[in-house]
Amino acid sequence: MILLSVNHLSKSFGGLKAVSAVNMELRMGELVGLIGPNGAGKTTVFNLLTGVYQPTEGDIALRRQSIVGLKPWQINQRGIARTFQNIRLFNNLTVLENVKIAYHQHASYGIASAILRLPGFYKGEDDMSQKGIELLKIFKLEHKKDELAKNLPYGEQRRLEIARAMAAQPQLLLLDEPAAGMNPQETAELMDMIRWVRQNFDMTILLIEHDMALVMGICERIYVLDYGQIIAEGTPAEIKSNRKVIEAYLGEDISHAHGS
């Protein structure tokens, strides 16, 4: 079943066409990569999918319903969550509070219950705390639940950001360079964690990444973007040997491509 369908998607900023006639499809449960050189338009695509930008042309359909024109929070409620290239956590909140914030859109109590501090409010908060701790266990962060997010090491901040995105209970998770700034061991652990999340949460994942070992190691299909256009789509093996893709990476063998 097709979860996300992107049809003829374009975005212009003044005279510059950042994304041009992009077509993509994501099936339920797939793990797909979106790669390309610097400035290719990858993060712009993510911003279009999440309502940060509105397209100049084209359509985006989630479960066959257009999400064009919706606000980011509305798209999040419909089942798309994301992480960012530059980590965006609530630095002065605890690890657990960061996760609970994402759970609040599914809170079982209403505004009146929260304002009046009725029993339903306390029960709902307890339930969210328990769910949050269970999620933090998956990401090996439960022992840090009371620490401020800003005090976590970089790799743990990355994991917390993914955990917070998962707390929104999405069907589609967009990961924007999740391995950026990680050392090889952290990257290997991240690969294992992404695989585990996908399998155990029946999650569809689209990731932007410059670490080709990670992309080739976990993605089933890969789209390649260059100058705002899709120049190739296929399996890791097909992409690795695609002449257009190799040329887009300045003549390098794509298995050694790098950059941000």
CB neighbours (10 Å) of residue 245? 21
Q: Is the pLDDT of residue 58 over 90?
A: yes
Helix (H, G, I), strand (E, B) or coil at 23: strand
Q: Is the pLDDT of residue 236 over 70?
A: yes
Full-model pTM: 0.83
> What is the pLDDT at residue 115?
60
* 245: its two tokens: 């893709």
Q: What is the mean pLDDT of the chain?
A: 85
How far apart, in whole angstroms, are the C-alpha atoms of residue 53 and residue 88? 18
Q: What value does the mean pLDDT take over residues 95-100?
A: 88
Q: Is the pLDDT of residue 216 over 60?
A: yes
> What is the pLDDT at residue 260?
37
Q: Would you say 248 and 36 are in contact if contact means Cβ atoms under 8 Å apart?
A: yes
pLDDT in tens, 239-250: 988 888 888 764
For domain 1-79+173-180+205-260, the CATH architecture is 3-Layer(aba) Sandwich (3.40)
Give Cα separations from 190 to 29, 243, 246 (angstroms): 18, 30, 26
How far apart, in whole angstroms, are the C-alpha atoms of residue 211 and residue 183? 11
Strand order in the sheet with 229-234: 80-82, 172-176, 204-208, 31-35, 221-226, 229-234
Q: What value does the mean pLDDT take over residues 111-133?
A: 63
Residues in the chain: 260
- Element at 58 (helix H, strand E): strand 57-62
pLDDT in tens, 155-167: 889 889 888 888 8
Q: Could you tell me the residue ranges of all domains in the chain?
A: 1-79+173-180+205-260
Beta bridge partners of 19: 11
Helix (H, G, I), strand (E, B) or coil at 259: coil
pLDDT in tens, 2-21: 999 999 999 999 888 999 99
